[in-house]
Each structure stands twice: as C-alpha cells, then as structure tokens.
Structure 1
Amino acid sequence: MTVEEQFEELQQELRGLEEQRESLLSDARKLHSLAKRAMYQTHRDLLGEAAALFKQAEPMAKGLISAYRGNPKLKFGAVTAALQEWCECYAYYVYLKQGRLLLRSDVGLETEDYLLALADLSGELVRRAVSLSIDKKVADVKRIRAFVDSLYGHFLGFDFRGGELRKKTDAIRWNLQKIEELLVRQ
C-alpha cells in the first residue's frame, strides 16, 4: 500500500464515521421530539396517543442503542440525551399505566443513561403530584410520594462521588421534599 492509498483509506473511514454520526444525529432529534410529544400526551392522560408515539419511537431508540454499542465513537451528547428523554418519558408512562418502575431490561440502556432518566422521572412525578394536589387527590399524591421515596432509597445504595448522577440523586431528594410539602399543605 502506498502512502497515498493509505490516506485515501483513512479519509474514507472518517467520512463513513461522519456519515453515521449525521444519520444518528437526525434519528436522535426525531426520537427526542417523539419523546417530548409522548410526555405531553402522558401528562394530559392521553395514554393511547402516547402509546402510539412510543411504538413509533421504539425502533429509533433500539437503532441508536445498537449503533453506539457497535461503535462507542458513535455515543455522543445528542444520542444519549434523546435516549434518556425517551426512557424518562416511557418510565412515566409505565408508572401511570402499570404503577411500577420501568426496568432497565425494558429499554436496554446502559446503566448511567438509565439511572439519569429515572432521576429525571422524579421531576415529572412532582408535576403530576401538583396537578393531583390541585384536584384534591391526596391518595394519588401519597402513592407518588411512596414511589419517589423508594426510588430515592435505591439511588442511595450507590456511591456516586460526583458528576451528573450525584447531582441527579440530590434532585430526587429535592423532588421528594416538594411532594411532601404538597401533602403537608393538604
């Protein structure tokens, strides 16, 4: 192989990687948009509409996960943000529909992305608790409080020494306090 042939090969390799990144970025934007729309529908208790959006989003999410597992260079901010948003929204939907925590095996995300999504879920549950509190549905607010308390307890089992997961664990605690304040005011 000549020097010229080598550099041509390297250029092709990098061009291919960049094309993959651009394709993933496009899919990540679409997934993020679908997740936001599904979250909106879920907050409005339009679970059928949300389910249709999840059905549309699932192949995109699985494609993104598969792509970066095949090549870690393809895991970047927009991809992880979209996957976390999708997981957070799906976790909220599963909580409302089934009253349970979405398992990592349900979505196939890497540990950190899954945990970050669950931490953000606590904020959506605060929003739900506020709405329920306005409607004087105290028993439902109490169920959310118990769920977030359990989630926080599980997060305390980790030893996050810093970084995003440490901050998000603190956010779960603050969200739990907000829900408890709602209950005190009832």
Structure 2
Amino acid sequence: MKSEISALLDDELELGEASRMIDLLRRDKELQDAWNAYHLIGDALRNTAIICPDLSGKVMARLAEEPVLFFPVVRPKRTPWRFALPLAAAVTGMAAVGWVALALNAPQTLELAARHSPPVEQSARVPEPAPPAALKEYLVAHQAHSPGGSIQGVAPYVRTVSVIHKGGR
C-alpha cells in the first residue's frame, strides 16, 4: 500500500488507480499519516520549509480553547454638538456652493469710460441682403444647441458662427 502512495506522489499511477487510492486516503487515517510522512520526507530532501500538515486543524483547536469574552457595548454620549456640527458643516457647504453659483450667474454690467471722446463721423452703410432660408435654419439650430449662461467652459473663447458675404464682413 505504501508503494502505491509513493507512486501516487510521483504521479506514476494510472487514472483509475489514482482515483481509487485517493478514495482510500480519504477514509483511512493510517494512509493519511503515511501520505503526510512522505510529503515531509520529500520536503526534507528538497530543503523546503517545513509546514505543519494539519495547520488549519491546530489553529481551529487553539481558537476553541480561547475563552469567550463578552464586553458591554459602550455607546457614545448623545450631545447636542454631535448633531449640530455636521448640520452646520452641511449648511455652510450649501451656502458656499450657492454663493459661487450666484456670483457666476449674476448679470455682468460694463462700466462705460468716463472720458468724453470727440464725435466720430460715420459713413452710411448699405444693408446686406438676408442669408438664404436654409442657412438661417442652420444658424437657429446651432444657437439652440450651443451652451448658454455664464458657465460655458470654453464657449466664450470660440468664435460665433455667422454668415459671411463675399463683399463685406
């Protein structure tokens, strides 16, 4: 029987014999001890670190020996500060976000220069013809889908789409 265990360790048994031997190993304590001894011998020959073959069983046995300690649950005191401080922090955060949003969406006024400049002569301009209807529809659709408001990201730095005629601006 021990020669069969050795052959199983060396992977020299056929599939049928190996499964029969594994079934025997599961049931017989002496064969399990021989299996562990052969593994220990192999580890010693290969100079590998020796690990206890039934480590989990020994750990479970030691855990079962440990005394079970019951400690009462200590609940923290319920003070007003425990609820007031997180509430104050949340309100402060919401106020800060609201303040920034109002500042970004506030109407921006331009201050005109106080200097008086001399009147400039202007020449009469000839009205330009209206763009084609298809182009008007495109521009309206473009403006409908372009970002609006003062929180626009890169949009203020991008040129607006417009109609350019051959003779003018």
TM range (shorter): under 0.3
Q: Larger radius of gyration, structure 1 or 2? A: 2
Relative to its length, the structure with more helix (as a share) is: 1
How high is the TM-score relative to the length of structure 1?
A: 0.24
**Higher RCO (C-alpha 8 Å, min separation 6):** 1
How high is the TM-score relative to the length of structure 2?
A: 0.26
